[in-house]
Amino acid sequence: MTTASLLAADLLLAVLAAAGWLGGGAAAAARRRPLALALATVALLATLARATTVLALARVGWWFAAEKVVVAAPLSLAAVAVAGPRLLRAAGDIRSVALPLLFAGYALSAALLVTVLHGYPVSASVGLLAVAGVVAATALSWRLLDARPSRAAVAVAVAALLAGTGLAVTPGPAPAAPHEHGYPKARISDEPTRRFTLTAGTATVRVGGHDVAAWAFDGQVPGPELTATVGDVVQVTLRNRDIGRGVTLHWHGYDVPNSQDGVPGVTQSAVLPGQEFVYRFRADQAGTYWYHTHSVSDVGVRMGLYGVLVVRPGPTSGLDVTVPVHTLGGRPLPDARMEQVEAGVPVRLRLINTDSTTHRYALAGTDFRVAAIDGYELGGPTPLRDTAVLIPAGGRYDLVFSAPATPVALYVDGRRVYSTGAQSTATDGWPVLDPLTYGRPAPTPWSRFDRTFTLVLDRGLDLRGLLPRYAHTVNGAADPDIPPQVVRSGDVVRFTIVNRSQTVHPWHLHGHHVLVLSRDRRPATGSPLWLDSFDVRPGEVWEVAFRADNPGMWANHCHNLGHADAGMMLHLVYS
Ligand SMILES: [Cu+2]
């Protein structure tokens, strides 16, 4: 079982146990003995079964197994200890076990709420509020069952409530405000050798034979493909015609100077209708990249404000095809395309995922190699056949092959998007490439780290704004309340990224590529893997490192852009 399915099973058992105790208590109160006994048995079995799931989670290295033991186990044991013996001894009135069963139900519900709603890390105030809730609910039930709650129970509930609330409203240290420093201005003065102008505006575009309302660069989705050769000085003038919520250009994966990074509120102001902004940077890194707006990025990118950026090392021969995959108005892009290719022609397919979730790509009909990931060439890539690749949100894979005499086809999630002739293959059952074990290894350039940071990705209630929201959190906080990570120029920095939630988080640090050290404590054994976008799946622990060599203030966020908008965004700041 994967960690994600173990987590789901554990959650299901927890819900079953809580519901069983609560239902059993209600049935006992109504003097329905058989139902009460049946539900209590279900609850007991589910509670015991959780020992198995928690143990299994611990064995696969889930970081928070101990927390389950600390929070859920005592409450589960208390529930069994209070309700179990009473149940066995309840020869007379079944109603006498109603309260213990209800108490067990409240205790497990509280543990569940703390786990799901509050997330990591659990604070003393949340613990006290949970205890207050359990005691208060038990006292109220006691009262409704025609008995009288002891004054001690009421006193405990009130005391816990007051203490918990007191701790909750005590302000913690305020995170440094990221926007007080003004915007960086330094821009290279070299004369541009490649000039482009992109105009953002609302548009109607054709997708799969349907008209779709979009936001587009130059009226097309994706926007124009920008190309350059290593050594070029690229200048792009961005104009906004009528996108009311503003537009910027972020060069995804291209480690430009901070002032050109295109993050509104951090490196520049959003470009409003009628305004323009000129970006200029040196193309000193070859590879496959893309650009997109970073202003209300969740909506803006989804509506179509993105395009491809390809930087080539020099004149190339053969066929060079870019395949930017996107979902526009619920319809997949690009449309299927077929072209004749002579046998023996070298082909490079540049696969780009511009959506917010992972896509599965499968190249059928030929051996191929993964030449590059996220713009960086891999060392010693070996031939692959009938193997799929998973590309995270924002990620890019370059596949290369020599065109065979027979047709080749590329499938994305089972849909054919590119082919060199009539070709039909079922690719669903293919194994998936693990990039951490692919290619020729090389020694890690660093053995010690000047800074280490841990990022726990999670969900939780964020109560700091005007309205409470169920946010995507990092270390228990949501943007803008996540403290920035502060580094010095030249530092070698290590991140440990842990996913405590039930969803995939594609992580993306601006301005730097990170070297993957390990995943789930297993060191990367393939070619050095320099990534700017990588999927941290539920339960996974990634260790990555980079040298802090690009000063400024950089966004560091989940590239499921809906998650980023819902809090999963922090900043890397040079002191
Ligand atoms: Cu995410």
Q: Please report, in tens digits, the pLDDT of each residue of the chain (575 residues total).
A: 788 888 889 999 999 999 999 999 999 889 898 998 899 899 989 988 988 898 888 888 788 877 766 666 777 777 778 777 777 776 667 788 888 889 888 988 888 888 888 777 777 787 888 888 888 898 888 888 876 666 776 777 778 777 767 766 565 555 544 555 578 877 788 899 999 999 999 999 999 899 999 999 999 999 999 999 999 999 999 999 999 999 999 999 999 999 999 999 999 999 999 999 999 999 999 999 999 999 999 999 999 999 999 999 999 889 999 999 999 999 999 999 999 999 999 999 999 999 999 999 999 999 999 999 999 999 999 999 999 999 999 999 999 999 999 999 999 999 999 999 988 889 999 999 999 999 999 999 998 999 999 999 999 888 777 788 899 999 988 999 999 999 999 999 999 999 999 899 999 999 999 999 999 999 999 999 999 999 999 999 999 999 999 999 999 999 999 999 999 999 999 99
User: How far away, in angstroms, is 567 Cα from ligand 1 center?
Assistant: 9
User: How far away, in angstroms, is 533 Cα from ligand 1 center?
Assistant: 12
First vs last C-alpha separation in the chain: 44
User: How far away, in angstroms, is 393 Cα from ligand 1 center?
Assistant: 10
255/68 Cα distance (integer angstroms) = 40
User: How far away, in angstroms, is 359 Cα from ligand 1 center?
Assistant: 15
488/350 Cα distance (integer angstroms) = 35
Q: How would you write 432-450 as a 3-class SS string? A: ECCHHHCCCCCCCCCCCCC
User: How far away, in angstroms, is 356 Cα from ligand 1 center?
Assistant: 9
From the centroid of its chain, how far is CA 333? Answer: 22
User: How far away, in angstroms, is 501 Cα from ligand 1 center?
Assistant: 9
pTM above 0.85, yes or no: yes
User: How far away, in angstroms, is 243 Cα from ligand 1 center?
Assistant: 26
User: How far away, in angstroms, is 386 Cα from ligand 1 center?
Assistant: 30
430/276 Cα distance (integer angstroms) = 47
Nearest to 62 by CA among 502, 533, 509, 568: 502
User: How far away, in angstroms, is 131 Cα from ligand 1 center?
Assistant: 31
User: How far away, in angstroms, is 354 Cα from ligand 1 center?
Assistant: 15
User: How far away, in angstroms, is 573 Cα from ligand 1 center?
Assistant: 21
User: How far away, in angstroms, is 562 Cα from ligand 1 center?
Assistant: 8
Residues 6+ apart with CB under 8 A from 378: 370, 371, 372, 438, 439, 526, 527, 529
User: How far away, in angstroms, is 504 Cα from ligand 1 center?
Assistant: 6
Residues 6+ apart with CB under 8 A from 552: 184, 257, 258, 259, 261, 267, 511, 574
User: How far away, in angstroms, is 564 Cα from ligand 1 center?
Assistant: 7
User: How far away, in angstroms, is 563 Cα from ligand 1 center?
Assistant: 5
User: How far away, in angstroms, is 560 Cα from ligand 1 center?
Assistant: 5
User: How far away, in angstroms, is 568 Cα from ligand 1 center?
Assistant: 7
**Angle between the 65-89 and 33-59 helix axes, to the nearest 10 degrees?**
160
